[in-house]
Amino acid sequence: MNEEILNIALKNALAEIKNAVSDVNWTFILTDNGTVISGEDTADPNMTKAASSFQSLAEKASAIGGLDNMLITGDKGKVYVSSINDMYLVAGLTEDADLVYFRTLTGAVLPTVLKVVNSITSSSLAPTPIKPTTFKPTPQIPYTPLKPIAPKSIPSELQIPDEDEELMAQEQEPTEPEQTIESETLELNKPQELETSKPPVEEVPSQQLIVDRFSGLMVKADTVQLDVDILKRWSALLDVKEIDEVDIETFSGKTARCKAKVINDSKLEGRGLVRIPEKTCQLLDVRRGELVRVKPVIPEESD
């Protein structure tokens, strides 16, 4: 859950609760990580002090199955603490406050706010399916064709590509931008170059992919999963049997070399995803839905 959005939503909710219930003197929410979210414009230092005292009590409350709620009645007022999801609402009430009304209101409003914020943030983080047109190679490598058809479709024995084959190859492509076709045609005109020379390191193809985080007991932290099409295309481009390793580069400049495997979930194929194990995501400081640049690593023995 996005913490900033959550804080704003809860702060506003607390302010509204205070406006709605005249018996409320002050309120704050204590989150599970110890953050104090106050409904007031200026945070009261007393709240932090009270929060630390309360945290220690909440820990000991495991003896009664965890703290659900608490009411401290003083001769000049009350403090009511209520558990909401994994947070605690702490409220200062007047001596004759209507506790039932306050409980009903907060019990309805705050969980709803949390649910709404949670649904908003989770939906904004979910990866959106992308169209095949977004699978373009990065602009830095102008000669990179979209499909591995070019080098494969020209047998070395023929030397010169057959015009019919070329047309068929173009027809098989669904909807490619004109510019890409042109570059492909350009490659087809130079088949010998592709056949004989291996691309230099600086011309290694790369692709921007959406991060999908995954975890599990049998998941290896050093292995990422990619679309079979992407791996096939790269292996064809680099003229290697298969791509075993890839370099992942984040936009913040962090890189990692990982083993590459094919995405094993058919539902996630063809969506432009790179599935990165949770640990590696943490190392790279990337989240689900973010874009990263993925480059194949040219194997040493590629002949």
Partner 1 sequence: MPVKKKIQQVEIEEQVDWAPKVEEKRVIADLRETLEDIKKKDGIIGYIIRGTTSASVDIKDPSKIIDYAALSAEAIESGETLSSTFGLGKVCSIVLEGKTLKVLSLTKGEQQLSIFMEKSVDHNSIRQEIE
Ranges within 80-139 binding partner 1 (CB under 8 A): 92
- CA–CA dist 91, 230 (Å, integer): 56
Binding mask 8-27 for partner 1 (x = CB under 8 A): -----------------xx-
Work out whether 3 is an interface residue with partner 1 (CB under 8 A): no
Which one of residues 64, 100, 201, 218 is an interface residue with partner 1 (CB under 8 A)?
A: 64
Residue 85 vs 179, nearer CB to partner 1: 85
Range in contact with partner 1 (rule: CB under 8 A) among 33-41, 57-65, 263-271, 293-301: 57-65
- CB of 33 vs partner 1, minimal distance in Å: 20
CA distance 148 to 257: 24
Alpha carbons 222 and 247: distance in angstroms, whole number: 11
Round to whole Å and give the CA distance between 11 and 112: 14
72 counts as binding partner 1 under rule CB under 8 A: yes
Q: Give the nearer residue to partner 1 in terms of CB position, either 26 or 143.
A: 26
CA distance 102 to 93: 9
- The partner residues of 220 in beta bridges, in order of sequence, read none
Binding characters for partner 1, 23-52, by CB under 8 A (x = yes) = --xx-------------------x--xx--
Query: In whole angstroms, how close is the CB of 78 to partner 1 at the nearest point?
Result: 7
Give the nearer residue to partner 1 in terms of CB position, either 74 or 216: 74
Stretch (H or E) spanning 225: strand 223-226
- Of 4, 33, 41, 65, which lies in the binding site for partner 1, with binding defined by CB under 8 A? 65
Rounded Cα distance between 199 and 165, Å, is 25
How many C-alpha atoms does 153 have within 13 Å on its Cβ side?
Answer: 23
302 binds partner 1 (CB under 8 A): no
- Give the bridge partners for 171, in sequence order: none
Give the binding range for partner 1 (CB under 8 A) out of 61-69, 148-156, 204-212, 229-237.
61-69
Q: What angle do CA 206, 208, 210 make, to 5 degrees?
A: 140
When binding is defined by CB under 8 A, the residue of 3, 32, 68, 222 that contacts partner 1 is 68
Work out the end-to-end distance of the chain between its first and last CA atoms, rounded to an integer number of angstroms: 49
Of the candidates 192, 283, 267, 180, the one whose C-alpha atom is nearest the C-alpha of residue 225 is 267
Binding site for partner 1 (CB under 8 A): 25-26, 46, 49-50, 53-54, 56-57, 60-79, 92
